[in-house]
Amino acid sequence: MANHIQSLEGLEALLKDKIKGQSGNIVINLIGIPKISRSNDIIGNCLQEWLPEWFQDNGLNLEPNPETQAFPDFIAHFDNHEEMVDIKCWNYLNNPAFDIANFDSFYNVLYNNPAKLFAKYLTIGYTPQKHGFTIDYVGLKKLWDITGPSRKRPLNIQVKRQRPYAIRPISFARHPNTSFNSPDELIQAVVETRKLFPNDEIKYSEADWFNKLSLTLEHYRHKM
């Protein structure tokens, strides 16, 4: 029977009730010979494809982001409001290493649409097993809950060819005290990271970016 989900918190509760602790498997059948896949990439990708459909089966109106190259991936529609949400899965035996967003894209998107700072993340940790996998972690997180500094930089990012590439999560499930404590800390870290990697193609200064995000932040604090 479908549930009438009215918030992302309600969706998180449903996941913890119905999915956490459960086992699954992904079978590849070729020439009539089935084999169970234990590949991390395959498990994670299949979960991220299966979960949105299951959410819709349970009464959630989940719309893919029409801006396919921008975060977050989905817009969840409820009776009296809508929320932006991403779904991220990772091997719970390891630190999460999924991409949150491309750094330059993230920087530009937030400047043009600061409300996206308040997108939420449904994070699912799975553990590969001999005959499939188990779901061992479920958490609904804010952006600053899953991001934090690295040992080298104000923001944990992947760097390629001496340029910032992807924003990566910290180990938020096992070490939540390493994350940022507020959106203010996050935007300050983004600005400090931008200063380490200047981009001449960006037409506004770091101060302009920070001031715009700071002003917008005041209008959205009630959503935190």
Residue 21 confidence (pLDDT): 97
Instruction: Taking residues 179-199, report their average pLDDT.
Output: 96
Q: Using 50, 70 and 90 to split pLDDT, how confident is the model at 78?
A: confident
Query: What is the tens place of the pLDDT at every residue in 33-62?
Result: 998 888 888 999 999 999 999 988 888 888
Write out the H or E segment, with its range, that includes residue 144.
helix 143-146
Q: What is the pTM of this model?
A: 0.90
Query: What is the tens place of the pLDDT at every residue in 116-167?
Result: 999 999 999 999 998 899 999 999 999 999 999 999 999 999 999 999 999 9
**Considering the domain 8-223 in this protein, what is its CATH number?**
3.40.600
DSSP string, 119-143: -EEEEEEEEEETTEEEEEEEEEEEH
Residue in the structure block whose two tokens are 């949150």: 100
